[in-house]
Amino acid sequence: MASFPAILQSEWTKIRSVRSTIWTLALTFVVTLGVGALLSLLTNNNFEEFAGDRRTPFDATGTAFSGILLGELAIIVFGVLAIGNEYSSGMIRASLAAVPQRGTLLTGKALVLGGLALAVSLVTAFATFYLGQAMLGDHSTTLGAPHVLRAVFGAALYLTMLCLFAAGVTAMLHNQTLALGILVPFFFLLSPILSAVPKVRTVAHYFPDYAGSRMLLVYEQTDQPYGPWSGFLICLAWTAAALLGGALVLKKRDA
């Protein structure tokens, strides 16, 4: 069996050698930054129209992160491809032959994947925040304002957990096409629709995307079921459950 550092090195080599995974990470940065900057500029130029109800404070941080929805899509695809490429190419058999301890193998994958996603997400979050505030001009805020730094870190952690959640689901399904076919409609169709239906809205409030979006809040709202820290714990629980499910399936099923 290979040593754990060798496993980490191998997983890092696999990720960086596949062009599609690198492009999806780059896309996470570009779309989150670009859309956030554009909407921040539009908000600054049309502040009276975009600021909304003045009874609630204007959230300059949330405005800068307006593009995170597209960033979510890109980093979900990255998580799926990083795990699913091995199954589609058949390389998973060679990986399991080199590392028969399947839990150890998945742990190595998760650490490398999560570390890379976190690094890119931190750069994305801070760059998006600073550029967004520059575009907002006189309506901007600073990292030193109450809860702003927590919200910026929350954006980075949210993207990282989404990536690992997608990786765990892919490990359970052993198929990247099927994983994308489930995750994309779930996050971008089912969850928003259920959130708008009064009778099932409470259930949708505990989905990972809604919980993760609470982590970006600077101003806690009285009409919301919970705040940023509860959102973090709920999103973390979904991520842990997906990775645990992936580990159990990997141990019990053939490659």
List, for residues 91-101, the tens digit of each pLDDT value. 777 777 777 78
DSSP three-state, residue 216: coil
pTM exceeding the 0.85 threshold for the entire prediction = yes
The 10s digit of each residue's pLDDT in 88-142 is 777 777 777 777 787 788 888 899 999 999 999 999 999 999 999 999 998 889 9
Q: How far apart are CA 249 and CA 174, in angstroms?
A: 9
Q: Please give the span between the terminal C-alpha atoms of the chain, in angstroms, as a whole number.
A: 18
Closest CA to 45 of 63, 68, 67: 63
DSSP three-state, residue 74: helix
The 10s digit of each residue's pLDDT in 13-41 is 888 887 888 899 999 999 999 999 999 99
Q: How far apart are CA 57 and CA 54, in angstroms?
A: 6
Nearest-Å Rg of the Cα atoms of the chain is: 19
CB 74 within 8 A of CB 34: no
> Which residue carries 């040593």 as its tokens?
3
